[in-house]
Chains A and B, each alone.
Chain A
């Protein structure tokens, strides 16, 4: 059993893509990794080194070809699809490079989407969602549609959405890649505050300035963690992952 405060536990995780015939891509080649609750981890590395693959595996969007992955104490490496979906919705919040809001829904409805798939009655969460919108500074935009918002505002909606199910873990793949440096900094500040309030963050980036904000930086190469840089010590949570925002 991993210690209770380790949220991500990778043991010899491999990911191979079968390209048919003999050809095979080994995107991850036996990665070991432990991420504790409350940590802020940045993943860096050249293109093709396996960063996205790793983040997808952490986010339960995919299953490893080999190895064990335990998320929040649960082995998810060979979960069936439905359970994996459920786990994703319950334990993980995603922030994407291109925001990925749903075009036909308003701000508040976008924030509610993960609740629906958890089978929650969204009427009971109206206030909760409004609070999250307020937290990201969009309480006056609740009924706007994504195409009526700036990129920074959309990314803030995505942050609120990632928090609505109170996940163990926030995953961000190049969250500032589409933003100018000023709005990017705003978004990163917000992520910092989330981490400060106890959320565990794993973030992929190309930008060293971004990576500097994390406690740990994992440098990947050819499907392996080549080296790891500790910027500053992570606060060791007392066994329980932080929950309140």
Chain B
């Protein structure tokens, strides 16, 4: 080891010794930095985890998709409450799908979905489910894994075959002991032959235009060809509810417009609004643009980070002020020692370095403990709640870096003050 680095090491050791002389005081001084660093890392980890989860959700919707959903208009919802009204007619139509496909530039394809809430039966088992009438390319747009057998085909659609595909969860409930393939399940008054089992990568949102679901699991889906859904269930859906029943006429519950690429999404969004606006006098549908949601989520995250960063900066600032306060007290308390050291040959910069090292040892020590706690805290949070947390390297480096910087910035003044003391005055100090 060369003498210079040895000398530096002895200065560090000396600083630690001085700090150890007042263990409680040093520990309390470090607390500010410990909490600051810990909270920065932990908060950023929780924020990062939350935004990651949100972004994953949105990405699953597909960033090149525009999703249209039928929505029961507010006026009609009130009307329905009265009971035996007439048939409520709202929502997206086949026509809408065709118009979008033919007039909006950049559209690759349009996936229509009808969603009917029914019970599906096999033998004595009856399970509430959603019957989704849709087209064969549904899996490519929504993200669906075929676990067994196959999904719906063009032939099914053309021939209006009474076939269906079940989600795995539903199949397990309906067929606890049997292989569901090639058995027929009953929905309403028709039988459908099971041709495949699938797993949705992205479970459909809880919300349909029908409002609240009665708590059944989300993967209870029965997929049938769109043509079959249309003919077997008809356009008018009757819904029994407490105090009567209501009838609604909804052609399609959802249209997923897949664009050629992500770039086309943003121009198409207002065009679709304009187009549909011409044919829908009421507000009976909503548009969800995953790409915009993604952008918003990123924007939110940025704001979140800035807010967190400010809070962190403030807490570290407070920690720094605490350190500075203690160091100023220390300098006063050790004035005599400073005088002695000066008499024994210490230059001003030796004194500066000595006190600066003490501050940096305090803040970096606090920083290290803070990092340890800051990494552990999110893990504990993840264990106790089901919140996802991600500790990023940059947050650790940032927090640690700031703690070091705080030590230098807030240590410099007391250290300089110590070095400026007149040796004679300092020696006379009681």
Contact = CB atoms under 8 A, between A and B. Distances in A.
Contact of A96 (B17, B347, B349, B427): B427
A118 interface: yes
Interface string B194-206: 0000000000000
A61 B346 CA distance: 11
Contacts of A30: none
Contacts of B10: 116, 122
Contacts of B17: 104-105
A94 B423 CA distance: 13
A50 interface: no
A127 interface: no
Contact of A113 (B7, B344, B347): B344
A85 interface: yes
Contacts of A101: 340
Interface in B307-364: 336-337, 339-350
B63 to A, nearest CB: 63
A119 B21 contact: no
A105 B10 CA distance: 12
Interface in B1-56: 3, 6-7, 10, 14, 17-18, 20-21
B381 interface: no
Contacts of B344: 88-89, 94, 113-114, 117, 161
A104 B345 contact: no
A59 interface: yes
B347 A82 contact: yes
Residue of B6, B21, B337, B345 most packed against chain A (CB within 10 A): B345
A117 B350 contact: yes
A140 interface: no
Contacts of B376: none
B424 interface: yes
A155 to B, nearest CB: 14
Contacts of A114: 344-345
Contacts of A90: 345
A86 interface: yes
A61 B347 contact: no
A24 interface: no
Contact of A121 (B6, B339, B427): B6
A145 B344 CA distance: 19
A117 B341 contact: yes
Contacts of A61: 342-343, 423-424, 427
Contacts of B424: 56, 61-62
A129 to B, nearest CB: 14
Interface in B403-430: 423-424, 427
B345 A88 contact: yes
B21 A117 contact: no
Contact of B7 (A81, A119, A161): A119
Given A61-B423, A81-B348, A105-B17, A88 B343 contact: yes
A118 B348 CA distance: 13
B21 to A, nearest CB: 5
Interface in A50-93: 56, 59, 61-62, 81-82, 85-86, 88-90
A123 interface: yes
Contacts of A102: 337, 340-341
Given A100-B427, A102-B337, A119-B7, A86 B345 contact: yes
A85 B419 CA distance: 12
A203 to B, nearest CB: 16
Contacts of B345: 85-86, 88-90, 114, 117-118, 165
Contacts of A165: 345
A104 B343 contact: no
A223 to B, nearest CB: 16
A103 interface: yes
Contacts of A85: 342, 345-348
Contacts of A56: 424
Given A81-B348, A85-B347, A88-B343, A104 B7 contact: no
Nearest to A113: B344
A59 B343 contact: yes
Contacts of B349: 82
B343 to A, nearest CB: 5
Contacts of A116: 7, 10
A59 B10 CA distance: 27
Nearest to A85: B347
A65 B369 CA distance: 52
Contacts of B6: 121, 123
Nearest to B342: A85
Contacts of A118: 345
Nearest to A83: B347
B347 A117 contact: yes
Contact of B346 (A62, A103, A117): A117
A94 B343 contact: yes
* Nearest 3 interchain pairs by C-beta: A89-B345, A117-B345, A121-B3
24 contacts: A56-B424, A61-B342, A61-B343, A62-B424, A81-B347, A82-B349, A85-B342, A85-B348, A89-B345, A100-B340, A100-B343, A103-B337, A104-B20, A114-B345, A116-B10, A117-B344, A117-B345, A117-B346, A117-B347, A117-B350, A118-B345, A120-B3, A123-B6, A165-B345
Interface of B: 3, 6-7, 10, 14, 17-18, 20-21, 336-337, 339-350, 423-424, 427
Interface of A: 56, 59, 61-62, 81-82, 85-86, 88-90, 94, 96, 100-105, 113-114, 116-123, 161, 165
Given A119-B3, A121-B6, A123-B6, 5 more contacts: A56-B424, A61-B342, A100-B336, A117-B345, A119-B7
